[in-house]
């Protein structure tokens, strides 16, 4: 039989509610205030710049890898 006096642990629930309410507050600020509009535009530019740099890095690493792969020594290519 279950103990009716044992308390349940609701730490995860409380933490989830706190994080969700903080996220909703941040979104409300970004979409409902005039300064939030400016902030949103600035964030959009920075995110595009970060994505562009990340894509360039991936392409550069892929090119270096394919160059290394194509430079197989002659003795390995024969075997």
Domain ranges of the chain: 11-72
Range with the largest mean pLDDT of 36-40, 53-57, 72-76: 53-57
Supply the pLDDT for residue 8.
Answer: 82
With beta carbons less than 8 A apart as the criterion, state whether 30 and 36 touch: yes
Average pLDDT, the chain: 83
Nearest to 61 by CA among 49, 51, 69: 69
pLDDT range class, residue 22, cuts 50, 70, 90? very high
Higher pLDDT among residues 53 and 7, named by residue: 53
């Amino acid at each position: 039989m279950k103990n009716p006096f044992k308390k349940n642990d609701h730490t995860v629930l409380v933490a989830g509610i706190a994080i969700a309410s903080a996220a909703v507050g941040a979104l409300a600020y970004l979409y409902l205030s005039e300064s939030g509009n400016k902030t949103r535009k600035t964030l959009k530019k920075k995110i595009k710049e970060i994505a562009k740099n990340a894509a360039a890095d991936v392409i550069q690493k892929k090119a270096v890898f394919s160059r290394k792969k194509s430079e197989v020594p002659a003795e390995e290519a024969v075997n």
